[in-house]
Chains A and B, each alone.
Chain A
Amino acid sequence: MDSTTDPRSAELKPMLPALPARWLMLLFSVLVFLPDLAQAIPAFNRQTGQNCVACHAGGQFPELTPYGRLFKLTGYTIGERAVPISAMVVASLSKVANTSKSADPSAEFQKDGSGILATASLLLGGKVTDNIGAFAQVTYDPYATQSPDGRFHGHSNADNIDIRYADRFIGDKHDLIFGVSANNNPSLSDPWNTAAAWMQYVPVPSPTSSRFIDGNSPYPGYGAGGNIAGLSAYAFWNQSIYAELGAYGSSRGVSSFMSAGIPADEKTRLKGLNPYWRLAYSHDWGPHSLMVGTSGMVARVYDDPLDTSDPASLHHFRDLAVDAQYQYLLDPHAVTAQLVYTRNRHRYPDAEAGLSVPFVDAAGNALASTNASDTNHLLRAKLSYVYQARYGGSVAIFNLTGSTNTASLTAGLDPGTLTINPDPAAQAPSNQQVDGNRTGSPATRGATLEAFWTPIQYLRVGVQYTAYTRFNGASKNYDGFGRNASDNNSLFLYTWLAY
């Protein structure tokens, strides 16, 4: 999108005068505390005594360097036991290009243009024994829920948890690292940052003004989602071939801590054990590091987490990913190129397939019934550069395509009047514009530009702009009521502190 010719870009201007005061205050408060921050160090840093850039490419946490990958795969055990607690705080501001084409702007764009404390995380990480280490994150979301009077309420829950056992047989000619990871999110155990659990790295704030920022645009993922419990076994041979095989089930009983804090009606309930696999080839030469890999998962997810009695209520997911990552790391330069393609197949419970919809085509003919299954394809690529682990920028593109399904329609032509009408059966009419879909297609395409500054290794300040050329199947009028893809273009500013 060319924002210079887009009349909507003018709507971004009024926010600019409002920004400096807020952000200057935030920056000021951060700078005031700099001397203390420089003394404080994240848990892994304390454990190894090393600088963040040793493990994180150009300091872009969480993206790992080849050494960082080995640190993770050997179970976070390099170094000496230290106080295993760190904390992370993200403050942010989101601004959507157009908030007027909405049934209820105050609900659909909460905190638009307002600086907020977005999330805070407590991280427990480090060496337990020579062979056992852990990385566990508990995240507090100040905007987790909203009461009818409009007040937000905070909530904490288990976020990423990875507890692993690892060992290494190494000699002059061979090197075998193997281990087992107990974790709550498929691919969380992966050491490359094209893995679904790791590619999206800036935490996404809950208020709906962040609904279109890059972190909420299409990303690789598994149908099984997070907050589940799994065990995977992995091996890395001669720092070349990586293989991992895992099985995931519902987080409950002894593994219920994996989904602690997640409300029962939001927990993912899986039927039995569901396989996850990963195969990757890695090659390092000089300052270059390349990985080409593939991964996948087959999962059966109950439609209603509170009712797992009916096997016919299962959603069946078959997810396949092919990914590649290239890094060039030679001080002061850090370049990373990432490419991921995923194919997600989703078969619906019988009760959701073959249903008629209350809309017709332009000739007045009934539309097709809802699909028994959908297949989506997602391509995402990102190129980033960091200079001196301090100044960085990136450009990313995403292109989601997939089968058209009349179940996705939120609006269509009324059989009587042949005029566009919202779905009369919809229970949340406020979503019919902003999240609306008049085509039945998931096609969403766009790009994100980011620039960031890391003045010290515990602080990052970033600005992101995400532009859409297609959203929910259309460039123009994707909801049937005049909202265009580019109306969703979003500006996102963030400050990220970890200590």
Chain B
Amino acid sequence: MKSLGLMSVVVAAAMTTGCANSERSRDIGNPNISGTTLAQQVCSNCHGMTGTSVSPNFPNLAGQTEPYLIAQLSSFKSHGRSDPAGFEYMWGLSRSLTDDQMKQLAAYYARQTPGALPIEGDRAGLAAGKGIFESGVPEKSIPACASCHGADAKGNATFPRLAGQHVDYIVKQLRVFQRTDERPEGAVMKVVAHDLTPQNIRDVASFLQALPSL
């Protein structure tokens, strides 16, 4: 058993040497930790190392606009954004972020190059989705997505980048806008999404996810 005791001492020594390294810190309550460190040590668990997430449960953040990211982080922190995807994960993680850390995080993700991902949605709906994105649904007075999100859906200020976003994430968020008031910062979308049919939502989400590959 002496060897087990010796191992304990070695481990205890190792434990005391790595504590103060802010580059690898996961101390998200510490305002001195940089946004890059937070992005790598914490956010990467769900959003991927460079902002391209594996699971559609979590949105891709690579190439997202800085104003949109800052607005979302602020809204998570203030509990203004309360959709399940938001509060289940992000309320806790954002609670101690400083304004500077939010800016650094936003800058970090905005400068990442979006990953090339396989097409997730139904190809049959791509054409219909393209039509909604570029021209809206005139008979229902639904405006074209491109008018705010940009011709390539790369976003514009607080209007988020949608190109390459996971189909499931877009579908769920459109439903949140359409059916709830859980995202007050995106209230404009409640009007826009109000008359979209489930098929419309599926089609436009499929198109947006596939857009970078088309």
Tell me which of A168, A180, A231 contacts B41 (CB under 8 A): A168
Q: How far is the CB of A223 from chain B (nearest CB, A)?
A: 19
Q: Which residues from B are CB-within-8-Å of A250?
A: 1
Tell me which of B14, B25, B95 contacts A130 (CB under 8 A): B25
Tell me which of A48, A182, A252, A331 contacts B93 (CB under 8 A): A48
Query: Which chain A residue lies CB-closest to B112?
Result: A172
Q: Is B188 an interface residue when CB atoms closer than 8 A count as contact?
A: no
Q: Please state if A48 and B54 are interface contacts (CB–CB under 8 Å).
A: no
Query: Which chain A residue lies CB-closest to B95?
Result: A49
Q: Which residues from B are CB-within-8-Å of A284?
A: 54-55
Q: Please state if A286 and B120 are interface contacts (CB–CB under 8 Å).
A: yes
Complex Cα spacing A18 to B150, Å: 66
Instruction: State whether A49 and B41 are in contact (beta carbons under 8 Å apart), knowing that A165-B15, A182-B8, A329-B55 are contacts in the complex.
Output: no
Q: Which residues from B are CB-within-8-Å of A446?
A: none
Complex Cα spacing A53 to B57, Å: 12
Q: Which residues from A are CB-within-8-Å of B44?
A: 170, 175
Q: Is A3 an interface residue when CB atoms closer than 8 A count as contact?
A: no
Q: How far is the CB of A177 from chain B (nearest CB, A)?
A: 10
**Residues 1-25 of B contacting A (Cβ, < 8 Å):** 1, 3-5, 7-8, 11, 14-15, 18-21, 24-25
Q: Which residues from A are CB-within-8-Å of B88?
A: 50-51, 53-54
Q: Is A79 an interface residue when CB atoms closer than 8 A count as contact?
A: yes
Q: Report whether over half of chain B's contact residues are helix, strand or loop; otherwise say mixed.
A: helix
**Residues 115-130 of B contacting A (Cβ, < 8 Å):** 120
Contact with A along B159-181 (1 / 0, CB 8 A): 00000000010001000000000
Complex Cα spacing A308 to B20, Å: 44
Complex Cα spacing A254 to B14, Å: 18
Q: Is B85 an interface residue when CB atoms closer than 8 A count as contact?
A: yes
Complex Cα spacing A78 to B24, Å: 12
Q: How far is the CB of A49 from chain B (nearest CB, A)?
A: 2
Q: Please state if A78 and B8 are interface contacts (CB–CB under 8 Å).
A: no
Binds A, one of B45-53, B63-71, B138-146, B193-201: B45-53
Q: How far is the CB of B59 from chain A (nearest CB, A)?
A: 13
Complex Cα spacing A59 to B105, Å: 29
Q: Which residues from B are CB-within-8-Å of A151?
A: none
Q: Report whether over half of chain A's contact residues are helix, strand or loop; otherwise say mixed.
A: mixed
Tell me which of B11, B20, B28, B46 contacts A67 (CB under 8 A): B46
**Residues 48-87 of A contacting B (Cβ, < 8 Å):** 48-51, 53-54, 66-67, 70-71, 74, 77-81
Contact with B along A131-142 (1 / 0, CB 8 A): 110000000000
Complex Cα spacing A287 to B92, Å: 23
Q: Is A414 an interface residue when CB atoms closer than 8 A count as contact?
A: no
Q: Please state if B14 and A180 are interface contacts (CB–CB under 8 Å).
A: yes
Q: Which residues from A are CB-within-8-Å of B20?
A: 130
Tell me which of B40, B84, B92 contacts A171 (CB under 8 A): B40
Q: How far is the CB of A88 from chain B (nearest CB, A)?
A: 21
Q: Please state if B91 and A49 are interface contacts (CB–CB under 8 Å).
A: yes
Q: How far is the CB of A164 from chain B (nearest CB, A)?
A: 10
Q: How far is the CB of A475 from chain B (nearest CB, A)?
A: 45
Q: Is B131 an interface residue when CB atoms closer than 8 A count as contact?
A: no
Q: Please state if B8 and A130 are interface contacts (CB–CB under 8 Å).
A: no
Q: How far is the CB of A191 from chain B (nearest CB, A)?
A: 12
Q: Please state if A180 and B49 are interface contacts (CB–CB under 8 Å).
A: no
Contact with B along A247-263 (1 / 0, CB 8 A): 10110111100000000
Complex Cα spacing A253 to B54, Å: 46
How many chain A residues sit at the interface, stated as a range, is 35 or more
Q: Please state if A50 and B93 are interface contacts (CB–CB under 8 Å).
A: yes
Q: Please state if A175 and B49 are interface contacts (CB–CB under 8 Å).
A: yes
Q: Which residues from B are CB-within-8-Å of A255?
A: 4, 8
Complex Cα spacing A363 to B96, Å: 80
Q: Please state if A182 and B11 are interface contacts (CB–CB under 8 Å).
A: yes
Q: Is B56 an interface residue when CB atoms closer than 8 A count as contact?
A: yes
Q: Which residues from A are CB-within-8-Å of B11?
A: 165, 180, 182, 231
Complex Cα spacing A81 to B14, Å: 21
Q: Which residues from A are CB-within-8-Å of B8?
A: 182, 231, 254-255
Q: Is B99 an interface residue when CB atoms closer than 8 A count as contact?
A: no
Q: Is A33 an interface residue when CB atoms closer than 8 A count as contact?
A: no
Contact with B along A270-293 (1 / 0, CB 8 A): 000100000000001111000000
Q: Is A30 an interface residue when CB atoms closer than 8 A count as contact?
A: no
Q: Which residues from A are CB-within-8-Å of B5?
A: 253-254
Complex Cα spacing A78 to B38, Å: 10
Q: Please state if B14 and A285 are interface contacts (CB–CB under 8 Å).
A: no
Q: Please state if B4 and A50 are interface contacts (CB–CB under 8 Å).
A: no
Q: Is A229 an interface residue when CB atoms closer than 8 A count as contact?
A: yes
Instruction: State whether A231 and B4 are in contact (beta carbons under 8 Å apart), knowing that A170-B44, A172-B50, A330-B57 are contacts in the complex.
Output: yes
Q: Please state if A129 and B19 are interface contacts (CB–CB under 8 Å).
A: yes
Query: Which chain A residue lies CB-closest to B11?
Result: A180
Q: Please state if A78 and B56 are interface contacts (CB–CB under 8 Å).
A: no
Q: Please state if B14 and A287 are interface contacts (CB–CB under 8 Å).
A: no
Complex Cα spacing A249 to B172, Å: 51
Complex Cα spacing A285 to B52, Å: 12
**Residues 27-41 of B contacting A (Cβ, < 8 Å):** 27-29, 40-41
Q: How far is the CB of B51 from chain A (nearest CB, A)?
A: 10
Complex Cα spacing A329 to B11, Å: 36
Residues of A within 8 A of B (CB): 48-51, 53-54, 66-67, 70-71, 74, 77-81, 129-132, 165, 167-173, 175, 180, 182, 229, 231, 247, 249-250, 252-255, 273, 284-287, 329-331
Q: Which 6 A-B pairs have the closest CB atoms?
A: A49-B92, A51-B88, A80-B29, A50-B92, A165-B15, A170-B40
- 7 contacting pairs across A/B (C-beta < 8 A): A67-B46, A79-B93, A130-B18, A130-B26, A172-B49, A286-B54, A331-B84
